[in-house]
Amino acid sequence: MARSSRTVIPRRTVLRGLIGGGIAVTVPLPRLCGMLNDSGTAYAAGGPLPVRFGNWFFGNGIIPSRWVPSRTGVGSAWELSEQLSPLQPVKEYISVVTGLVIKGPDISPHQAMPVQALTGAQTAGGGVVQLPTIDQAVGAITNQTTLYPKGLHVGLTKVNGGIAMGLNVSFSGASAPNPPEQSPARMFQSLLKYASTSTGMPKPADPSLLRRRMVLDTIAEESKALRARLGMEDQRRLDQHLSGLHQLQGQLIAAGMPRMTGTLVDPDKAYPTRGADGDITRKRGQAFSDLLVFALSADLTRVFSYAFTGPACHGNYTDCGLAAATFHEDYGHRTSPKGVQAATEGFNTGVKFTMSCLADTLTRMKNTPDGAGNLLDNSVLYTTSCCSESQTHGGTDFPVLVSGKAGGKLKGDTHVRLVGDSVSKVPYTLLTAMGGKATSFGLGDSMVTGGVPDLLA
């Protein structure tokens, strides 16, 4: 099949821009552009472009009166609220659903609420997650053929909120978290093996890759005898482990193959002042966004999670000018020695700071070509939190944002207000848009059988 003129773009062509501290860095172009049809909307060999999905999570909630946009509608019919205002550059990709509530009797703050918002089910005893989080439910449909079937998971903070979820916002099931990587440098090193060389020449063969693969082969072979001795439940756990080994094997094989990617942004060069691992800084978020965009663009994975902060995070937000005190207590619960009013304004600043960091992720995706459009056209990000009203752990007007167009399936630029409906409706809508066939979503009081049609294109 004839290829379009886009295919003549040299593989080293990258989008150059100024990101973070004015340092020139490069953003990868999709490795697959040479494989697209003439209109750039699908693979030449058939099949649509992949749609990527991510949880973009932040802890400690919002101030509903400053979060909920004043008008509903589509396009110019609505405006972003004060707390959502940092998303203005990507408003055409944003859908806000307000008025949603956490259903069910168990509204234990910071644990049951985010688990319901992410899985559609309340927690079992001891705070145990019962169902996979929405990223994993989507990934089971869309991401099984990539190098990272469970996705890539990042998180800014190391400060645990003291709840059973820990720092995790992605679970493959009960007792099966997908812990976030907290070091951009370590993630960069991990992804480096896939990056095209800066010279465009093939990478020299890395003999360690073969050795490491031989090690994994040996382990897999050795594990057969162990597996045969185990009962069903232990077998299931071992199989997950072996599946991880298998995936690692695939990653090592792929690392030795030439790929068409752009330049991978080295966080130590682009963001040398980003702060230590665990610090909640915008530059750390930008570093992770660059790395995720690289991986999504190169189709290393179609699923990710990004924990700006975890549920009930007690970390501090000094990067946006707040005191070196816990955001959760001093600002979220307004216990700052500076008084309630100052704490309220500080909390508002923190939420806007959070949305600025989300905008950083979205802007990078929007600026990254993907097929005929950009990466954000072919992605969905589901953003939620661990409570609504921060001061009292409110569960009404739960914060829910949807970003991206899902390959044309989502309308974007929409504010829908559904007072009293279950928060589960939004992830169900997204799961269905991503190809899910289930007729319901979630468990118990949190279960829903219908979505939010107004989100769909």
Partner 1 sequence: MTQFSSRFLMGAALAAIAVSAAGCTGTVEGTGMTPPGGSGGSGNPGMTGMGTGSTGPTDMPPGGDQPAAHLHRLTSSQFANSLRDLFGAGVPIGALDPDQPTGGFVSVGSSSIVSSSSGIGLYEAAAEAATAWLLADPARASAALACVPQMATDTTCASQAFSTLGRRAYRRPLASDETNRLVMLATAVATGQGGTMTLGMQAALSAILQSPNFLYRVELGAPSPADGGRLKYDSYEMASRLASTLWNTVPDNALLDAAGKNGGLATADSVIAQAKRMLADPRAHQGLAAFVDDLYALHNLQDAEPDPMTFPALTPTLRAAMQTELEMRIDDMVFGARGDFLSLFDSKTTFVNNELATHYGLPTAASDGFRKVEIPGDSPRAGILGSGAILAGLAMPQRTAPTRRGKFIREAVLCQTVPPPPSNVVPVLPPPTDPSETMRQRLSQHRVNPSCASCHSLIDPLGFGLENFDGVGKYRSLENGKPVDATGDLDGAQFDGLAQMGAVLRHAAITGPCFVSKLYMNAQNRLAGARDAAILDKLAADFAASGNKADQLITNLVSAEPFRFVEPTKP
Q: Site residues for partner 1, window 224-243 (CB under 8 A)?
A: 225-226, 229-231, 233-234, 237-238, 240-243
Residue of the chain from 173, 256, 275, 278 that contacts partner 1 (CB under 8 A): 173
Distance CA 282, CA 101 (A): 30
If one asks whether residue 296 binds partner 1 (CB under 8 A), the answer comes out as: no
Q: Which is nearer to partner 1, 159 or 296 (CB)?
A: 159
Q: Which is nearer to partner 1, 316 or 414 (CB)?
A: 316
In degrees to the nearest 10, what's the CA dihedral of 375, 378, 379, 380? 140
- Identify which of 104, 101, 120, 113 has the alpha carbon closest to the alpha carbon of residue 396: 101
If one asks whether residue 10 binds partner 1 (CB under 8 A), the answer comes out as: no
Distance CA 1, CA 84 (A): 45
If one asks whether residue 420 binds partner 1 (CB under 8 A), the answer comes out as: no
Length of the chain: 457
Distance CA 392, CA 112 (A): 15
Residues 56-85 that bind partner 1 (CB under 8 A): none
The least distance separating partner 1 from the CB of residue 426, rounded to whole angstroms, comes to: 22
Distance CA 324, CA 311 (A): 19
If one asks whether residue 219 binds partner 1 (CB under 8 A), the answer comes out as: yes
Residue of the chain from 22, 47, 204, 337 that contacts partner 1 (CB under 8 A): 337
Determine the angle formed by the axes of helices 207-229 and 232-255, rounding to 10 degrees: 170
If one asks whether residue 126 binds partner 1 (CB under 8 A), the answer comes out as: yes
If one asks whether residue 212 binds partner 1 (CB under 8 A), the answer comes out as: yes
Please, are residues 92 and 79 in contact by the beta-carbon 8 Å criterion?
Answer: no
The least distance separating partner 1 from the CB of residue 417, rounded to whole angstroms, comes to: 24
If one asks whether residue 259 binds partner 1 (CB under 8 A), the answer comes out as: no
The least distance separating partner 1 from the CB of residue 423, rounded to whole angstroms, comes to: 16
Q: Which is nearer to partner 1, 177 or 399 (CB)?
A: 177
Which residue type sits at 369?
A: P
If one asks whether residue 148 binds partner 1 (CB under 8 A), the answer comes out as: yes
If one asks whether residue 276 binds partner 1 (CB under 8 A), the answer comes out as: no
Residues 367-396 that bind partner 1 (CB under 8 A): 391-393
Distance CA 205, CA 213 (A): 14
Residue 231's CB is within 10 A of a number of other CB atoms, namely: 7
DSSP 8-state symbol, 328: I
